[in-house]
C-alpha cells in the first residue's frame, strides 16, 4: 500500500468516525415541540368548556390551574420522582380520588330551636372551611389508575418534622403502587401552602393533563 | 427497630436512665436518616440546545404548533375579566395576562346547613368555574333567601317585603347567576376570610373600581 493510499484510507476512516460521533437526528415524536403540540391538542377541548382544568407539566416542573386556556394560578414543583413513566408525552385524565388519612370536614350548622338564639351576625371564623384546613400530604388518583403523591417541603426550622410524617406517607404510597403495577406513578414536592392550595383548587371529577418527561 | 435502638443505646451509654431519655430523639434521628437516604429525586430536565431534526419534519411541527396556539388563544376571554381565588380570598381584575387590580375579598365559609323539616340542605361555597355578570345594580337591597331564616331559627315569611333588608350589600352589586353576587359589606374587618354564604364580598373602594371596570357579560372565573 503506497503513501497516497494510506492517506486516502486515513481520510475516509476519519470521515466515517466523525459522522458516527455527531448526534443522529431526533425522531419527530421525541422533539420537545411534539410534546408541546400534544399538550396543546389535549388542552383545546378542555379550554372550550366553562370549567377549570389542571395541567401537570412535569417536564418543566410546573402545575397550572387553567380555564379557557388562561392560567389562573401556577405552582412550582420543587422536586419530583417518576416512579413509573407515562406511555405518552401527554395524557388527559379525570381526578377520581384525593386519598389521604384525614379528609377535611365541614361544619354542619344546627339551626336553633328558638328564633334569635343564634347570633348569626357574629360570624365564627373558627368554623369556616378554609385553606388552612386542607392537608399537605395526599395522593391524587386518576381514572386510569395513574397516581401522584404530593408532599410538602418547608424551609422552616421545624420542617424536619414534616419529613418524619412524609416517610410514613411515602411508605403507604409505595404499597398502594403495588396494587397497580402497570400504572404510571410519580411523587412531587411543593411548598406547604402550594400543596394545600392544589388540594383546594383541584376538585374531584375535574380534568387534568399530565405531561411527563 | 425499637429493640435495635435500645441495644445500641445500652452499649453506648450503659446507664438505663440515660437510655430512656435518649431513646426517642435517637429513634427520630434514625427515622430522619432513613427518610433522607431513601429520597432520590429526578434531575431537572434541561434542554441546552435544540435537538437536530429533519428540517421538513421540524417545519411541520412548528406549523402545527402555531395552529394549536391560535386555537387556544381563540378560547381565551377578550377584554376585561374577573378571577376569584377562593383559596387566597383574592379577586383580580385582568385584561389578558395583565392584572389591573388585585383586591382582598371574602368568599364562602363552606359550612353545611340542613333543614330537617323540608329535607333540604345548603353548602355555603362560592361556586367554581365560569360565570358572567348578568346584572349590575347600584344601591342593592338583600332579599333574604329561606336559608337566612332557617339559620336564625326564624319562620320563613310568606310576604316578599319581610325578606327585604337594605344597606347590607354596600353601594354596588354584580349578579353572577343562581343568586350569587359580588357585593359590598358592613363587616369590612372580616374581608379576606371565608365568611360568606357563597357571595363574594369586597371593600368599598375595590367594589367601586370593579363595578366601573366591568360590564354585563364580563366573564368571572372562580377557582
For A179-188, the pLDDT digits (tens) are: 777 788 899 9
Return the pLDDT at A114.
67
**pLDDT grade for B99, boundaries at 50, 70 and 90:** very high
CA angle B99, A211, A182 (to 5 degrees): 145
Question: Average of pLDDT values for B4-32?
Answer: 71
Q: Cβ separation of A111 and B151 shorter than 8 Å?
A: yes
Q: Which of A28, A68, A110 comes nearest B75 by C-beta?
A: A68
CA B72 centroid distance within chain:
24
Phi, psi of B173, deg, nearest 5:
-145, 145
Average model confidence (pLDDT) across chain A: 82
Residue A100 C-alpha, separation from nearest chain B C-alpha, in angstroms: 19
Return the pLDDT at B104.
98
- Cβ A154 vs Cβ A191: under 8 Å: yes
Q: Cβ separation of A197 and B110 shorter than 8 Å?
A: no
All residues at 6 or more sequence positions from A2 whose CB lies less than 8 Å from its CB, including other chains: none
Residue B158 C-alpha, separation from nearest chain A C-alpha, in angstroms: 17
Q: Cβ separation of B65 and A60 shorter than 8 Å?
A: no
* Nearest to A166, CA basis, from A200, A194, A138, A199: A138
A171: cell is 411508605
In chain B, at which residue ranges do the beta strands (DSSP E only) sit?
80-85, 90-95, 98-106, 112-115, 120-123, 129-132, 135-138, 142-143, 164-165, 172-177, 180-183, 200-202, 219-222
Lowest mean pLDDT among A11-20, A33-42, A101-110, B14-23: A11-20
Q: Which of B85, B152, B194 comes nearest A73 by C-beta?
A: B85
pLDDT above 50 for A97: yes
Residue with more model confidence, A124 or A184: A184
All residues at 6 or more sequence positions from A186 whose CB lies less than 8 Å from its CB, including other chains: A58, A80, A81, A82, A83, A147, A148, A149, A212
Q: How many residues does chain B have?
A: 223
Q: Which of A37, A50, A201 comes nearest B61 by C-beta?
A: A37
- Cβ B45 vs Cβ A213: under 8 Å: yes
Residues in chain A closer than 8 A to B28 (CB atoms): 164
Query: What does B157-217 look like in DSSP terms, one character per residue?
Result: PSSSGGGEE-SSS-SEEEEEETTEEEE--S-GGGTTSS-BSS-EEE-HHHHHHHHHH--TT
Residues in chain A closer than 8 A to B47 (CB atoms): 32
Separation of alpha carbons B131 and B108, rounded Å: 16
Residue with more model confidence, A17 or B158: B158
| B193 in contact with chain A, both atoms CB, cutoff 8 A | yes
Interface test with B, best of A113, A123, A126 (most B CBs within 10 A): A123
Q: Which of A25, A44, A118 comes nearest B153 by C-beta?
A: A118
**pLDDT grade for B116, boundaries at 50, 70 and 90:** confident
Q: Cβ separation of B153 and A115 shorter than 8 Å?
A: yes
pLDDT above 90 for B67: yes
Q: Cβ separation of A60 and B152 shorter than 8 Å?
A: no
* Nearest to A207, CA basis, from A43, A63, A60: A43
pLDDT above 90 for A206: yes
Average model confidence (pLDDT) across chain B: 88
For B67-91, b/e burial (b = at least 16 CB within 10 A) is ebeebbeebebeebbbbbbbbbbeb
What is the pTM assigned to this prediction?
A: 0.83
Separation of alpha carbons A81 and A148, rounded Å: 10
Return the pLDDT at B217.
97
Residue A180 C-alpha, separation from nearest chain B C-alpha, in angstroms: 22
Return the pLDDT at A27.
59
Q: Cβ separation of B32 and A160 shorter than 8 Å?
A: yes
pLDDT above 70 for A161: no
- Cβ A201 vs Cβ B223: under 8 Å: yes
Lowest mean pLDDT among A115-124, A157-166, B44-53, B168-177: A115-124
Hey, is A45 helix, strand or coil?
helix
pLDDT above 90 for A64: yes
- Cβ A197 vs Cβ A131: under 8 Å: yes
**pLDDT grade for A121, boundaries at 50, 70 and 90:** very low
CA distances from A176 to A99, A143, B39, B112 (A): 11, 15, 18, 33
Asked whether the ipTM of the predicted complex exceeds the cut of 0.90, the reply is no
Return the pLDDT at B52.
72
Amino acid at each position: 500500500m503506497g503513501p497516497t493510499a494510506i492517506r486516502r484510507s486515513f481520510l475516509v476512516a476519519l470521515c466515517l468516525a466523525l459522522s458516527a460521533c455527531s448526534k443522529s437526528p431526533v425522531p419527530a415524536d421525541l422533539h420537545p415541540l411534539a410534546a408541546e403540540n400534544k399538550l396543546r391538542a389535549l388542552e383545546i377541548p378542555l379550554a372550550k368548556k366553562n370549567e377549570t382544568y389542571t395541567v401537570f407539566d412535569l417536564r418543566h416542573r410546573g402545575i397550572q390551574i387553567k380555564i379557557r386556556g388562561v392560567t389562573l394560578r401556577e405552582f412550582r414543583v420543587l422536586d419530583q420522582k417518576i416512579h413509573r413513566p407515562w406511555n405518552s408525552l401527554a395524557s388527559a385524565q379525570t381526578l377520581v380520588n384525593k386519598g389521604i388519612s384525614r379528609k377535611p370536614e365541614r361544619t354542619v350548622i344546627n339551626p336553633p330551636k328558638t328564633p334569635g338564639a343564634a347570633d348569626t351576625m357574629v360570624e365564627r371564623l373558627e368554623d369556616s372551611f378554609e385553606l388552612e384546613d386542607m392537608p399537605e400530604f395526599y395522593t391524587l388518583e386518576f381514572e386510569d389508575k395513574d397516581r401522584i403523591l404530593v408532599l410538602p417541603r418547608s424551609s422552616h426550622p421545624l420542617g424536619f418534622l414534616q419529613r418524619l410524617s412524609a416517610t410514613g406517607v411515602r411508605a403507604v404510597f409505595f404499597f398502594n403502587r403495588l396494587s397497580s403495577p402497570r400504572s404510571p406513578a410519580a411523587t412531587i414536592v411543593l411548598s406547604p401552602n402550594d400543596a394545600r392550595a392544589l388540594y383546594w383548587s383541584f376538585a374531584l371529577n375535574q380534568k387534568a393533563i399530565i405531561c411527563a418527561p | 427497630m425499637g429493640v435495635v435502638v435500645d441495644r445500641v443505646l445500652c452499649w453506648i451509654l450503659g446507664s438505663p436512665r440515660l437510655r430512656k431519655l435518649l431513646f426517642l430523639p435517637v429513634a427520630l434521628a434514625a427515622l430522619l436518616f432513613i427518610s433522607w437516604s431513601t429520597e432520590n429525586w429526578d434531575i431537572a430536565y434541561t434542554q441546552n440546545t435544540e435537538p437536530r431534526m429533519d428540517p421538513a419534519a421540524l417545519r411541520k411541527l412548528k406549523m402545527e404548533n402555531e395552529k394549536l396556539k391560535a386555537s387556544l388563544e381563540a378560547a381565551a376571554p377578550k377584554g376585561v375579566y374577573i378571577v376569584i381565588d377562593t383559596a387566597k380570598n383574592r379577586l383580580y381584575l385582568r385584561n389578558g395576562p395583565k392584572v389591573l387590580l388585585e383586591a382582598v375579598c371574602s368568599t364562602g365559609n363552606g359550612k353545611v346547613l340542613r333543614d330537617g323539616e323540608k329535607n333540604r340542605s345548603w353548602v355555603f361555597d362560592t361556586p367554581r368555574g365560569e360565570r358572567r355578570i348578568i346584572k349590575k345594580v347600584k344601591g342593592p337591597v338583600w332579599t333574604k333567601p329561606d336559608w337566612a331564616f332557617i339559620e336564625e331559627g326564624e319562620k320563613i315569611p310568606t310576604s316578599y317585603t319581610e325578606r327585604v333588608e337594605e344597606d347590607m350589600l354596600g353601594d354596588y352589586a354584580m349578579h353572577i347567576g343562581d343568586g350569587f353576587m359580588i357585593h359590598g359589606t358592613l363587616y369590612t374587618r372580616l374581608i379576606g376570610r371565608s365568611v360568606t354564604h357563597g357571595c363574594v364580598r369586597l371593600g368599598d373602594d375595590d367594589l367601586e373600581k370593579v363595578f366601573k371596570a366591568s360590564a354585563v357579560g364580563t366573564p368571572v372565573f372562580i377557582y
